Chains A and B, each alone.
Chain A
Amino acid sequence: MGLERPLKPIKDKAKILSGGVSRRSFMVTSAAAGGGLLIGFYLPQSIGAKAQIVTTEAFGPNAFVRIRPDDSVTLVMPQVEMGQGTYTSMSMLIAEELEVDLAQVTLEAAPPDDRLYANPLLGFQVTGGSTSVPAMWEPLRRAGATARIMLIAAAAADWNVDSMSCRAEKGWVAHPPTGQRLNYGALVDAAAKLPVPDKVALKDPKDFTLIGTPAKRLDTPDKVNGKAQFGIDAMLPGMKFATVAACPVFGGKLASVDDSKAMAVKGVRQVVRLDNAVAVVGDHMWAAMQGLAALDIDWDEGPNAKVSTADIVHQMDIASQKPGVVARSDGDVAKAMPGAARKVEAVYEMPFLAHAAMEPMNCTVHVTPDGCEIWVGIQVVSRAQATAAQVTGLPLDKIQVHNHLLGGGFGRRLDVDGITQAVAIAKQVEGPVKVVWSREEDIQHDVYRPYYYDRLAAGLDEQGLPVAWNHRVTGSSILARWAPPAFVNGLDEDAVNGAAKELPYSIPNILVEYVRHEPPGLTTGWWRGVGPTHNIFVIESFIDELAAAARKDPIEYRRALLGKSARALGVLNLAAEKAGWGGPLPASVGRGVAVQYAMGTYLSQIAEVEVSKDGEVRVRRVVCAVDCGQVVNPDTIVAQIEGGIIFGIGAALWGEITLKNGRVEQHNFNDYRVLRINEAPLIEVHLVKSTEAPGGIGEPGTIGIAPAMANAVVAVTGKRIRKLPIKDQLQPA
């Protein structure tokens, strides 16, 4: 899938952050025509390309800040907006250091270019893994500060005063002693001729005027009046519309198709055959849909025609019985486990999940003999370009990608399969064509969150505290497919993320293993919360089992193990206090807790769950305490937590993709159920004030809710949920 471009392995985020930054170098060039100041930085992997960039690519968007004589400040936005508010937080980082009003900043989506716009944490141009703020936190402020200092220097030189006596504010440089002022626009040409300071002092967080204050989102106004342009809204003169049916069995091929009835449908123009799919092209989506329904297709279903979820799980069970690659080993579990006063064991299972982002997969493409233009909302812009180059055989520079707003990403738009397919279709179509998947196609041809099969064992001492901990994760490796170089020595860092080095509990003997097992019949990929959504559910449920075995209060028990992690303890205590842990509840209601460290953020949730006599589960209230370090836009953080929790509740209650005869059994929101407003709980989010490096926030909310719910279910019913979704597990037999 996609391209096999060498990527930097994802190492410990903190390390890359500091290491990466120190090795960054800056450049500046004067923009002749029109004038302007450009500041850009290079990431480690682009060093060496510098000279070439300076000479040939200095103009245009190869930079983050662009200030024009007309005073306009443009941020060339490296990250994509999919609801997480990144357009706003990224702008805040620049504006803070540049000393301009947020209102002054205009955005321009960065073109595909890994050398200039790579995500320093992930090594190429990607928005995902809750990394935007952690990754761009320093580089964007540095870019803003560098510009500010050069503008001040230019003004000082002009007035010939000491630049230390000048001040920048709201787009002006002022010299208080003389009362002289110049706006940025007037200074850009002069500033552009100055050398770039290799060291710039960043503002002291206590002087922040923008960062940490609630800022109105820049993308909102157009989203309440229908003007916002998502990928699916691309409209081009002469554009045609297409919809697709790929082989319902993954790995199958198109055997034959009788399109006589389809071609007879009014408005149908063309039926396009790919080796594993058929597309109908028409004057509008309706014609295409009608045409698709009228096709008489024979599939060659291939090797997976009989695959069922039950077989897959059976295979995983077998695979999980052998030791795996060691992801973490402290002390000596083999010795400590038998020596323990008592042993607790459990098997946990997590289902395949679809994303079902609100905007169905779509991509608009125009292929001409000497170029290819793409209109799409995608989390990996450079990969979109690369796959188009691969399919068309055109060089990268002939592929233009116009990135649009994303109607939800959740990880689905980290894969470009839909773009690969759309370009293949467009190659056979005259003029531009918009390919839109039906919701059914979207759900049945997703890239699914892996099924995980976990074995856990813990040895407890007389007090019931764990002295030995063994966690064996069995599941497919997303990294091995998506970023092969990051899959090192058979260990998928993501599959154990949250379970290995991030495990916040102090236990003397720890062994965490990973068994790679690739299921037949589907492709697995990123899903909101990635590795931790699975591991935190398993760990926080199992810790509750241990607390129960030790006859201890779940929160007391965790406190006893969190001595070495003050921040984890902090969010746990805050959540417990705000939720009124231990307070009275109706008999049908219970509380459950979860605490986590993931994406650089500490978070604890307490869920209040009601279970009816029929076994219907309803989440009434969720209290969440978050320590994500330095906050950029607090309101966005609260929104992301709220949304993440709601996303996670739906998945925990009903989310499940199953296979029968190689086919996905779910179709649409009638049988792939997601949470509705009348099923949504009250949610309280409490932020911990902190000056630590900022952590990610798009995913942590989703991660912790399932275990909090499952633990609450135990509190009400005594039934331990070891397999998601909860669905009808609590129905009276």
Chain B
Amino acid sequence: MSLSRKLVALVVVLVTVAVLGWLTLRSRDPTAFAGGKRVDLADFRGPDPTGVPQSLADADLAVRGEYLTRASDCAACHTAPGGKPFSGGLAFKLPMIGTLYSTNITPDPETGIGAWSDDEFVRALHEGVGKDGERLYPAFPYTSYTLMTRSDALAIKAYLFSLKAIKYTPPPNDVSFPFNQRYLMTFWNVLFNPGHRFQPNADQPAEWNRGAYLVEALGHCGDCHTPRNILFGLKSHQKFAGALIQGWKAYNITPDPKWGIGAWSDAQIGDYLSHGHADQRSSASGPMAEVVDNSLRFLTDVDIRAMATYLKSVPALSDASGAAAVQTPSTQDQIAKSVGLDAGGQSLGLQVFEGACASCHSFDGNGVIFAHASFLGNRTVNDPAGVNATQAILEGTHLHTTRGKIFMPGFGNGYSDAEIAAVVNFVTGRFGTSASAVTADQVATRRQEN
């Protein structure tokens, strides 16, 4: 961009901030939808919704910190593929803005956070301000962590400081003007950072409050599942209605029976969160599989139930991400059916499916060995845009379960754009409610952005 165009852009941004900001964009408190009386934690009568589960109450600080670190899923962003845990370097490609890299949060004094004081650490989580006072980008979800209690934040710090220090400097951020003007974040924060600690709701049961703390303060589910406005703030009025992130679809997790998880039983929600799969509903893949892997599978059943309770209480919304209603196709006779489809011009997709997919997913879509591989009722194959199907096939996905590691290799480097588009359309058409119409060009674009 030429300088003058850049200045224009800057002005546009600032003006938009000022005007639109106050009118529409301003985030409301994440739990405001529930109504009732919110009180400061200090004045709250009920059992403390923050901290660790009873079972860990007496554990030492670092152990409590480990549980909270997992609940907050720090590893997901602060670990690069193939890199050492918490040493940072994971890239966040943001359209228009550029690429951000997560930081090293191991206790190495030079390259990590070994030299950070308690206050500096807490300030980062609560205000999005770095050690030297620089504004942090909200790819780091401090607008959620700001709700975290200081003691929980310090427990996390204690855990991180108990880890092996790793000397590693992530690549520098590559952010274009005007977004590289970190001071702009000051305005942004006014709009989008609640900037206060979690306030329990006096009119809600203990389980709901615990769930709210886990979902909003620690788990920061909204950072992926709530769509963002033009200034990258969360759209409060579309809370959890689903969004696209890093090329993956974070599904609608509101209680809407058609678009969200309203029709899911508590057991199904629990299974999904703890194990990454709910029969006839969905299997976690991509980023959500990582969340289960690094975070949710370590939470106690009590905490998982609390999260389910809270999620079911948010306003039901129709979908913002475009995932279709989920219904279970009938199991067809294996090979005959698939060959039947051959006539329907699906040959390329079928050909790829036969060789690369059927061994695990099977011709009837049941998943031969792992429930995780089952397509029946699965959201991914019922997405008429085939977004996550495309991504899973390109990139692969993996997940630890009680039965060991489950693994789908990425096929992106072995198969052409046309083949991948064809197999996505074959799978959505065969096992979903409506076939997607993914094109080779779309797959090509997807590759570049990954």
- A contact set with B: CB distance below 8 Å: 612, 614-616, 654, 665-673, 676, 678-679, 727-728, 731
Contact = CB atoms under 8 A, between A and B. Distances in A.
Contact of A666 (B355, B356, B413, B415): B413
A268 B50 CA distance: 41
B409 A614 contact: no
B351 interface: yes
Given A668-B409, A671-B410, A679-B351, A731 B416 contact: yes
Given A670-B413, A672-B414, A673-B415, 14 more contacts: A612-B418, A614-B417, A615-B416, A616-B416, A654-B414, A665-B413, A667-B409, A669-B414, A670-B396, A670-B410, A671-B413, A678-B351, A728-B416, A731-B440
Interface string B382-417: 000000000000001000000000000111111111
> Which of B348, B412, B417, B418 is most buried by chain A, counting CB atoms within 10 A of its CB?
B418
A678 B354 CA distance: 8
Contacts of A614: 348, 416-418, 440
A416 B356 CA distance: 32
Contact of B419 (A616, A665, A667, A676): A616
13 contacts: A612-B348, A614-B417, A615-B418, A665-B413, A666-B413, A670-B409, A670-B413, A670-B414, A671-B409, A671-B412, A671-B413, A672-B414, A678-B354
Interface of B: 348, 351, 354-356, 396, 409-419, 440
Contacts of A676: 354-355
> Which of A612, A670, A672 is most buried by chain B, counting CB atoms within 10 A of its CB?
A670
A731 B419 CA distance: 11
A679 B416 CA distance: 14
B409 A616 contact: no
A654 B409 CA distance: 17
Nearest to A671: B413
Contacts of B412: 671
Given A676-B355, A679-B351, A679-B355, A670 B418 contact: no
Given A614-B440, A616-B348, A668-B409, A673 B416 contact: no
> Which of B348, B396, B416 is most buried by chain A, counting CB atoms within 10 A of its CB?
B416
A670 B348 contact: no
> Which of B348, B411, B440 is most buried by chain A, counting CB atoms within 10 A of its CB?
B440
A584 B351 CA distance: 27
A253 B309 CA distance: 53
Nearest to A296: B84
A533 B354 CA distance: 30
A182 to B, nearest CB: 59
A728 B443 CA distance: 13
B373 to A, nearest CB: 15
Contacts of B416: 614-616, 727-728, 731
Nearest to A732: B440
A727 B417 CA distance: 11
> Which of A654, A671, A676 is most buried by chain B, counting CB atoms within 10 A of its CB?
A671
B207 to A, nearest CB: 36
A669 B359 CA distance: 13
Contacts of B418: 612, 614-616, 731
Closest 6 CB pairs of A and B: A614-B418, A671-B413, A670-B409, A673-B414, A676-B355, A671-B414
Contacts of A668: 409
Given A614-B440, A667-B409, A670-B410, A728 B351 contact: no
Contacts of A669: 414
> Which of B348, B414, B415, B440 is most buried by chain A, counting CB atoms within 10 A of its CB?
B414
Contact of A670 (B351, B411, B417, B419): B411
Contacts of B419: 616
A361 B351 CA distance: 30
A595 B178 CA distance: 63
Contacts of A671: 409-414
A297 to B, nearest CB: 11
